[in-house]
Structure 1
Amino acid sequence: MRDVVAEALARKEPLAVEGRGSKAGLGRPVQAAHTLSLAGLSGVNFYEPEELVISARAGTPIAEIEALLSERGQRFDFEPMDYGPLHGRPAGEGTIGGVLACNLSGPRRLKQGAARDHILGVIAVSGRGEIFRSGGRVVKNVTGYDLSKGMAGSYGTLAVMADVIFKTMPRPPAETTLLLRGLSDGEAAQAMSAALGSSVEASGASHLPYGVAARVISGELGREAATAIRLDGFGPSVAARAQHLSAGLSRVGPLERLEGEASERFWRDIRDVAPFADGTESPVWRVSLPPMQGHDFVMALRMQAAADAFYDWQGGLVWLRMDGGRSEADLVRGLLARHGGGHATLVRAPEAERLSLPVFQPQPAPLAALSRRLKDQFDPAGILNPGRMA
């Protein structure tokens, strides 16, 4: 791999770096002469369940790793999402290197963080054609700048990862989801805030408005709005916390429950944005903003454009599908600035739109200058995934 990067550097021929292509539609189209595929760089280097640590080659499918962890009653606590279905590809194609490169997470991020909070170490090749190592097998393993975390969210523009080391966690033996039915977006925001502010230690809080609820777990919920609070842990603890939370939520609206596998299926669909995985290229936005501003932002947007939405992270993450067929980037980001600020990323759109629009939230000038200096240090010739982020 180092030789490939060094050859590209010598020839000044940019490389498109990818795992198995499941996130090729995420970010701007890469302008490169050749593709460096890591699909063949696959396999687990070591897995030590007792030490809660696993190392794998960057091209290893995340589905294979999660299956291995499940056999030992463990998981990745940051619940990495699978972008494949949203982009019309089969589920399970994403790689462990792509998880870190895109800093993936799921509904549990509000409690456990994202991939960058669970990475322990990496071996990678910079755009200079130099191999570097960062971190190791334990949490406190870095003095100075943590290059492992620096790779998170870099989308392959700083280095080509070869090996990654992640910490794992035990899988809780019990899980239940409390569902409030029929709430408006504003009512749901209040209910989720109350639940997350209580002592029940919820690990998920999502709201599916009317109609959107019918697009998860094979339509079993029907069309009525569903506001979901997830609890997991040891069985007696989950039962006691669910009883305590139910006593408060029952005053808000009718309550239902999803237990075990049904609850897992529900949150997997939320994680992978199943309501908008419709086989089209209709623009989809991932918008993060203050949780109590989410529903007001969506209402203001709907006054000016056709949009469908649902909420995760207690309302702090809004998934938008623009039903009018246009990305409406200026409108989305303009309204975002007036509702507490945040980030809006265009995660699905036709290639022509992704070429002409700032797909990622434009950075303030000081931060953009810092990003350029970081890029210049790792990839001064700009040969890795040029154009992917800016």
Structure 2
Amino acid sequence: MTKTSQTFRPDNEDQLRDAVAWAVSEETSVEVLGHGSKRAIGNPFEAANRIDLSGLAGVTLYEPEELVLTARAGTALDEIEALLAENGQELQFEPMDYRPLLSGTDCGRGTIGAVLATNLSGPRRLKAGAARDHVLGIRAVTGRGEIIKSGGRVVKNVTGYDLSRGLSGSWGTLAIFSEVTFKVLPRAETETTLVVSGLNDADAAHVMAMAMGSSAEVASAAHLPESVRGRFIDGSLPAGPATVLRLEGVAQSVDYRAGNLTRMFEAHSPVSTLDADMSRALWREIRDVKPFCDGTERAVWRVSVAPGAGHQLVAGLRLRAGVDAYYDWQGGLLWLRMEADPEVDLVRKGIRALGGGHATLVRASDAMRREIPVFEPADPALAALSRRLKEQFDPQFIFNPGRLAADL
């Protein structure tokens, strides 16, 4: 747990800049915090002070016709999603909610600034991308105590676009967002999910690849083995492993595409459908890792590999340890829960044996988080680049020191 001596709660950008300038002048570190919903992710670190962004809140511009929304970084994600829903719109990358997995507390789901800082996404990632693919502009304060601006408020404005994207996923270690602008999109009229039942992990990977490669415009594809299937939507999925395919759009189109996919697979496996409400509930639970939200500290890994390699990784791990798993992103994203703390580098050794990928230790005991790097260790060239970026944006290394890597 981070020890702090002062907590700053700015409610405007100038106050944020002043707080950072004070930390720079005092050569003292700060933890950057929104609602704290993702605070337990990352290497354990200590900072002398804290900057709490929850007061730096409010939507400053929303033009539904122009598909643009700007908000201060501390604005609650729930508030933004409710506003968009009133206008039939959404953040199409559907940022996940880490609360149930990490703590099960009623702390805020998170802030819009943290969404970009951690580059959140959901099961629609293959079609819609992640937060960085929807950001149009940012305002931020660097570790030099300087205000920077990148991008703009219109979709066609690409000035500084790479900086907006480049700061995404930096977990508050390079700069502190004060304001962010996102492209928003209309919410689909309806959706349905096809459930292909009874497939083993390898056959499911093949079916998902066929579905994603078809003309059906599948928005999301996941495989839920029998060990986890019953923990989704109150056990309402058909018996056996479930390979689930989401279709979105206008009702007539969804029905047509669902019929084509059903005919493609029903000769080999039972195929059923979920209505729109059940479909949305299922994909929220897939997004938020519902099966592993058990209130324990058992290690949970978020692993990215080539879609066809995921089931091979799980099979290899099960020869060495107790592993529960399911597959998102056509099998390219694995959520793994270890039933006990095995050899600490077992997961990453398995990834290397398959030719590459990366793994983040999303949940674990403090002892395990101190023993193994939470984020995938970078190769020397990338680590050197990361350090140079840190030196440019935060030369005194005052922001979240050590959260991403010990030397940052």
Q: Scaled by the length of structure 2, what TM-score is found?
A: 0.93
Deviation at 1:140? 3.5
Give the distance between the partners of 1:334 and 1:93, measured in 2 at CA. Answer: 33
Give the distance between the partners of 1:13 and 1:5, measured in 2 at CA. Answer: 10
Is residue 273 from structure 1 mapped to residue 284 from structure 2 by the alignment?
no
Match of 2:76 among 47, 61, 64: 61
Match of residue 253 from structure 2: 237
> Contact (CA 8 Å) 1:217, 1:266: kept in 2 or not?
yes
Give the distance between the partners of 1:172 and 1:274, measured in 2 at CA. Answer: 24
Give the distance between the partners of 1:237 and 1:40, measured in 2 at CA. Answer: 44
Give the distance between the partners of 1:188 and 1:91, measured in 2 at CA. Answer: 37
Cα-to-partner distance string for 1:106-165 (whole Å, 9 max, x where unaligned): 000011110000000111100000000101112332346721111110000001111000
Match of 1:122 among 100, 117, 138: 138
Cα-to-partner distance string for 1:296-319 (whole Å, 9 max, x where unaligned): 110001001111000000000000
Out of 245-254 and 114-123, give the one that drifted further. Answer: 245-254
Structure 2 residue identity aligned to 1:77: Q
Match of residue 351 from structure 1: 366
> Contact (CA 8 Å) 1:12, 1:383: kept in 2 or not?
yes
Match of 1:19 among 34, 50, 53: 34
Deviation at 1:38? 0.6
Deviation at 1:91? 7.5
Is residue 225 from structure 1 mapped to residue 235 from structure 2 by the alignment?
no
Deviation at 1:355? 2.2
Deviation at 1:101? 0.5
Deviation at 1:224? 2.1
**Unmatched 5+ residue regions in structure 1?**
none
> Contact (CA 8 Å) 2:191, 2:276: kept in 1 or not?
yes
Give the distance between the partners of 1:102 and 1:223, measured in 2 at CA. Answer: 36
Match of residue 208 from structure 1: 224
Match of 1:190 among 199, 202, 206: 206
Report % sequence identity: 57
Cα-to-partner distance string for 1:241-271 (whole Å, 9 max, x where unaligned): 0001110011231111111111000000000
Give the distance between the partners of 1:245 and 1:301, measured in 2 at CA. Answer: 32
- How has the CA–CA distance of structure 1 residues 222 and 233 changed in structure 2, closer, same or farther, with 3 Å as cutoff? closer
Give the distance between the partners of 1:45 and 1:30, measured in 2 at CA. Answer: 34
Match of residue 112 from structure 1: 128
Match of residue 30 from structure 1: 45
Partner-residue secondary structure (3-state), 1:376:
helix
Match of 2:396 among 360, 381, 386: 381
Is residue 174 from structure 1 mapped to residue 181 from structure 2 by the alignment?
no
Cα-to-partner distance string for 1:180-214 (whole Å, 9 max, x where unaligned): 11211111111111101101010000001012011
Match of 2:277 among 257, 261, 278: 261
Structure 2 residue identity aligned to 1:34: N
Out of 81-90 and 184-193, give the one that drifted further. Answer: 81-90
How do 1:45-124 residues align onto structure 2 when only pairs under 5 Å count? 45-88=60-103, 89-90=105-106, 93-124=109-140
> Contact (CA 8 Å) 1:82, 1:91: kept in 2 or not?
no
Structure 2 residue identity aligned to 1:387: G
Q: Scaled by the length of structure 1, what TM-score is found?
A: 0.97
**Unmatched 5+ residue regions in structure 2?**
1-15
Give the distance between the partners of 1:376 and 1:75, measured in 2 at CA. Answer: 36
> Contact (CA 8 Å) 1:121, 1:166: kept in 2 or not?
yes
Aligned residues: 389
Partner-residue secondary structure (3-state), 2:230:
helix
> Contact (CA 8 Å) 1:207, 1:225: kept in 2 or not?
yes
Give the distance between the partners of 2:300 and 2:166, measured in 1 at CA. Answer: 27
Give the distance between the partners of 1:222 and 1:280, measured in 2 at CA. Answer: 28
Give the distance between the partners of 2:403 and 2:115, measured in 1 at CA. Answer: 16
